[in-house]
């Protein structure tokens, strides 16, 4: 009788969380894929570029796992800037890879173009991730101001 009744999350919050989780799943899958390619690159092609890729994509995989947690809506702006940092680091990796390919005599222009496209996609991913997380946090904050116990069940279930 003394416990407050737990309420369901709003539809707006649910949609925003689904979008963020879809983004996080895509980021995780691509991070694991490129992490594996970076390991291969470390041993068979360019160790420095492979190491940079392993560091970059491992950190983005960790951030994507963090974005899958329910408690991500309770974080502050540092979580958004963390998303920006790892995606920017991925873009820098692809930019450096394109530069290496431009300076490689045995490389074709196709490798440069592919790495340039992935650099642009990583920058777009930076913007998308920032705004998706910002939206989730904004909705949670606004709704919690109205109903303080609304998200209690989300946190206790995770």
Q: What is the mean pLDDT for each group of 10 consecutive residues in the chain (158 residues)? A: 57 88 94 92 84 92 88 78 92 90 81 90 93 88 67 51
Q: b/e per residue, 68-93, with b = 16+ CB within 10 A?
A: eebebbbbeeebbebbbebbbbbbeb
Give pLDDT tens digits for 53-84: 899 999 999 999 988 887 777 777 788 888 89
Q: What is the pLDDT of residue 143?
A: 76
**What percent of the chain has pLDDT above 90?**
39
Q: What is the pTM of this model?
A: 0.79
């Amino acid at each position: 009788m003394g416990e407050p009744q737990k309420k369901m999350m709003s539809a707006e919050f649910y949609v925003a969380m689904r979008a963020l989780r879809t983004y996080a799943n895509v980021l995780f899958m691509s991070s694991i894929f490129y992490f594996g390619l970076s390991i291969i690159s470390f041993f068979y092609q360019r160790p420095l570029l492979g190491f940079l890729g392993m560091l970059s994509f491992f950190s983005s995989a960790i951030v994507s796992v963090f974005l899958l947690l329910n408690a991500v809506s309770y974080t502050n702006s540092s979580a958004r800037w963390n998303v920006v940092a790892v995606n920017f680091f991925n873009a820098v990796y692809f930019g450096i890879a394109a530069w290496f390919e431009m300076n490689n005599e045995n490389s074709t222009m196709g490798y440069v173009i592919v790495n340039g496209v992935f650099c642009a996609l990583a920058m777009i991913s930076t913007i998308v991730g920032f705004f998706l997380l910002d939206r989730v946090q904004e909705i949670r904050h606004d709704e919690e101001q109205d109903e303080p116990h609304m998200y209690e069940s989300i946190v206790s279930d995770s």
